[in-house]
Copies of this chain bind each other. A is one copy, B any other.
């Protein structure tokens, strides 16, 4: 990328959001248009954000809180056709149809495939954490202190625009339950879960009722946990669970390895995994620049879900709760790019505030999963209308999300065997060579292997 404007843009994070931002500018540069000077800083040693798997837990090699919540045997929990880039399809990347629910390595490979087409890597400084941001009012610039973790050196940079793409599934929300401090087995948050293997033959308790509880529960069941209990605070997940997974109301307290539940039942466990969600956390920002929100579809304080309303030069990407993911980050990045380039003009503060409040009111009126999908679909349609991000058939994607919700409700163990059709290039997904419940190997090699060596050993049809 060449510097062709006199602006300097800092991007914090090289995960799906930060990479979308780099891609958005790259796409503009390729057209021969001027773009700002860009620098991107990433805490981890590679790009990919959450998709950059690490075996570490707690803190990283240099003692920073770990970004990653990824675990072995994670497969996409939504159809890949719902997260496909509009400008880089799965078919273009793999050269062949693949299934609708690929495992983590495959999705990571896909994300990398697009960004590797550019020289984006040159603009990213890895192992570097944003330590502190000051906004210098009279210069209208951000002073950012970075910490080069490898060399143990701090340095500062100034930027005209600052893009925060640090994600919000990294800082565990971990409530206290009486007696947990004396629980004699493993106690962890889903953030530190690295795979089901250590829970084989164990009786495990998951606290929570969202994606983490659902998926970790099913993973542990699949890989051989003795029994899985999912304890919900308000409502059960309410799937048709197989024998070996059951839902219970909230734990009230623990005594030794015994959990007591609200309904009066008690049960002993070997391990407790808190699937109690994440906090939005921005330790490098002063609180007047901090997005302060719970996990929702339309966080307060950011116009079009992107521009911080109290400081127009601060941009957040990917801070929403997510049905849409990669392609939503794209539409946000394209919007941010065109705003920085001056093609999108912001209305005044009060008008922006009213727009934010209107979207929040609209979210408030949604209740079902289907309504949430429609809400986020409308949000993305609105965003794309401002930019040249290649429009795609969002209504069809919304339909796929709704089918996916039904598939999960019908059978939580087999929904990943369903196939969908790309709205980007009409490619129909292929059935994976092995039913998901029988597939214990999540490697890219095994996934792309057309006739796995042990295929004949698997009784594919028996499972359903």
A3 to chain B minimum Cβ distance, whole angstroms, is: 28
Say yes or no: A132 contacts B145, CB within 8 Å: yes
A180-194, CB < 8 A from B: 180-189, 191-192, 194
A290 beta carbon closer than 8 Å to chain B:
yes
- What residues of B have a CB within 8 angstroms of the CB of A180 in the complex? 55
A276 to chain B minimum Cβ distance, whole angstroms, is: 12
A437 to chain B minimum Cβ distance, whole angstroms, is: 19
- What residues of B have a CB within 8 angstroms of the CB of A195 in the complex? 184
Q: Measured between alpha carbons, how far is A188 from B192 in the docked complex, in Å?
A: 10
Q: Measured between alpha carbons, how far is A198 from B269 in the docked complex, in Å?
A: 11
- What residues of B have a CB within 8 angstroms of the CB of A187 in the complex? 55, 57, 194
- Knowing A63-B65, A65-B64, A132-B145, the reply to whether A57 touches B283 (Cβ < 8 A) is no
A258 to chain B minimum Cβ distance, whole angstroms, is: 14
Q: Measured between alpha carbons, how far is A198 from B185 in the docked complex, in Å?
A: 4
- Knowing A59-B65, A64-B65, A132-B131, the reply to whether A154 touches B286 (Cβ < 8 A) is yes
A461 beta carbon closer than 8 Å to chain B:
no
- What residues of B have a CB within 8 angstroms of the CB of A57 in the complex? 57-58, 187-188, 192
A197 beta carbon closer than 8 Å to chain B:
yes
B interface footprint on A366-388 (CB within 8 Å = 1, 0 otherwise): 00000000000000000000000
B interface footprint on A186-215 (CB within 8 Å = 1, 0 otherwise): 111101101101101000000000000000
- What residues of B have a CB within 8 angstroms of the CB of A200 in the complex? 184
Chain B residue, CB-CB nearest to A55: B181
- What residues of B have a CB within 8 angstroms of the CB of A59 in the complex? 58-59, 65, 171-172
A287 beta carbon closer than 8 Å to chain B:
yes
Chain B residue, CB-CB nearest to A271: B198
Chain B residue, CB-CB nearest to A172: B59
- What residues of B have a CB within 8 angstroms of the CB of A191 in the complex? 58
A291 to chain B minimum Cβ distance, whole angstroms, is: 11
B interface footprint on A149-182 (CB within 8 Å = 1, 0 otherwise): 0001110000000000000000110101000111
Say yes or no: A287 contacts B153, CB within 8 Å: yes
A441 to chain B minimum Cβ distance, whole angstroms, is: 11
A29 beta carbon closer than 8 Å to chain B:
no
A89-135, CB < 8 A from B: 129, 131-132
A325 beta carbon closer than 8 Å to chain B:
no
Say yes or no: A63 contacts B286, CB within 8 Å: no
Q: Measured between alpha carbons, how far is A59 from B54 in the docked complex, in Å?
A: 16
A31 to chain B minimum Cβ distance, whole angstroms, is: 40
- Knowing A65-B63, A283-B147, the reply to whether A186 touches B189 (Cβ < 8 A) is no
Say yes or no: A185 contacts B197, CB within 8 Å: yes
Q: Measured between alpha carbons, how far is A188 from B59 in the docked complex, in Å?
A: 11
Q: Measured between alpha carbons, how far is A9 from B66 in the docked complex, in Å?
A: 33
A281 beta carbon closer than 8 Å to chain B:
yes
Say yes or no: B181 contacts A198, CB within 8 Å: no
Q: Measured between alpha carbons, how far is A186 from B281 in the docked complex, in Å?
A: 28
Q: Measured between alpha carbons, how far is A10 from B198 in the docked complex, in Å?
A: 45
A194 to chain B minimum Cβ distance, whole angstroms, is: 7
A61 beta carbon closer than 8 Å to chain B:
yes
- What residues of B have a CB within 8 angstroms of the CB of A153 in the complex? 287
A63 to chain B minimum Cβ distance, whole angstroms, is: 4
- What residues of B have a CB within 8 angstroms of the CB of A58 in the complex? 57-59, 65-66, 172, 189, 191-192
6 A–B contact pairs at CB < 8 A? A59-B172, A63-B171, A64-B283, A72-B182, A184-B195, A184-B198
